[in-house]
Amino acid sequence: MNLHALTNADLHCHSTVSDGACEPEQLAARARAGGVELWALTDHDEVGGVARARAAARAEGLAFLSGVEISVSFAGQVVHIVGLGFDEHDAQLREGLAATRGGREPRAREMAAGLAAVGIRGAYEGALKFVGNPELISRTHFARWLVEAGHCRDVPEVFRRFLTEGKPGFVPHRWASLSDALRWIHGAGGVAVIAHPARYRFTANEELALLTDFKGHGGQAVEVVTGSHSEQDAARFTEVALEFGLLASRGSDFHAPGESRTELGALPHLSGRLSPVWLALQDRVQFPS
Ligand code: AMP
Ligand code: MN
Ligand code: MN
Ligand code: MN
């Protein structure tokens, strides 16, 4: 396989190991059905699914990169940093991710208390029914339960009414620092990517600080084409990538059938003016035999 000729890379999605609804093997099959040539599983703050994903990629004939999506606190918001092509056995990375996961359980209990205060009882136990990995209880699991319990029509409505800043189930949380997340990824031999940059609500100065600090800590890439980006978002971050000398990534951020807007592989291509991040990861790619 020639990575230069490759166009359908999908380097962002979630399994039951974090807040996705499919097992890694099911995702690999969906990726192949969606025409994906190069695939990475990027569970939140967890690399527990990478070995299964790699084996499934081999079975499906997909090229594969290890992946993770680390939750970072920056300028009062949560920024997601995707790591690609690292050694998932690296001790410092694993310890850092474990520490990042550690805050989720007490946060989830506080979220449930906030929901109980507005009359929604049993949310912690309810969310747990949707959790595949007990260390990774996330807002998504609360959202799925709130829909099932009839409090909202769909997951986006739950986020709007209950799980975002200022709403009853929202609990401010301190995640990893940007410098730690990049140190863990780089220490394990990987490349760091700013995930879905158009989703953040930064001022121009804060966005510039993120890009500058990210580059200052050795960050190399930005996600230009992703499930939550409009055509305009992709166009804007194409220019940002070129201006800041960043490599470009592409990934659906697929979570669940019927819930995610974008299927694995069903994304616009990266502009030919960009340097795809996978070309910098050639020696880290597992090629199909
Ligand atoms: P957490 O890491 O527990 O804060 O949960 C964050 C996850 O919630 C993200 O990775 C998305 O999967 C999901 N999410 C965040 N905002 C929204 C939204 N507005 N609508 C649907 N899902 C969302
Ligand atoms: Mn998620
Ligand atoms: Mn994300
Ligand atoms: Mn994601």
Query: What does the pLDDT look like over 153-200, one tens digit per residue?
Result: 999 999 999 999 999 999 999 999 999 999 999 999 999 999 999 999
What b/e string do you get for 16-25 counting C-beta neighbours within 10 Å, with b at 16 or more?
A: bbbbbbbbbb
159 lines ligand 1 (CB under 6 A): yes
pTM: 0.98
pLDDT of residue 137: 98
CATH of range 9-100+177-281; options 3.40.50.150, 3.40.50.720, 3.30.450.40, 3.20.20.140: 3.20.20.140
What is the CB neighbour count within 10 angstroms for residue 156? Answer: 13
Which residues of the chain are modeled with pLDDT < 70?
A: none
CATH 3.20.20.140: which residues of the chain?
9-100+177-281
CATH 1.10.150.650: which residues of the chain?
104-163
140 lines ligand 1 (CB under 6 A): yes
Question: What distance in Å separates the CA atoms of residue 253 and residue 284, rounded to the nearest whole number?
Answer: 21
Pocket test for ligand 1, best of 43, 70, 140 (most atoms within 8 A of CB): 140
pLDDT of residue 189: 98
Question: How is domain 104-163 classified at the architecture level of CATH?
Answer: Orthogonal Bundle (1.10)
Would you put residue 122 in left (φ > 0), alpha (ψ -120 to 50) or beta?
Answer: left
pLDDT of residue 78: 97
pLDDT of residue 287: 96
255 lines ligand 1 (CB under 6 A): yes
Amino acid at the residue 282:
Q
Taking alpha carbons only, the member of 277, 86, 93 closest to residue 176 is 93
260 lines ligand 1 (CB under 6 A): no
Q: Quote the distance between the C-alpha of residue 22 and its chain's center.
A: 15
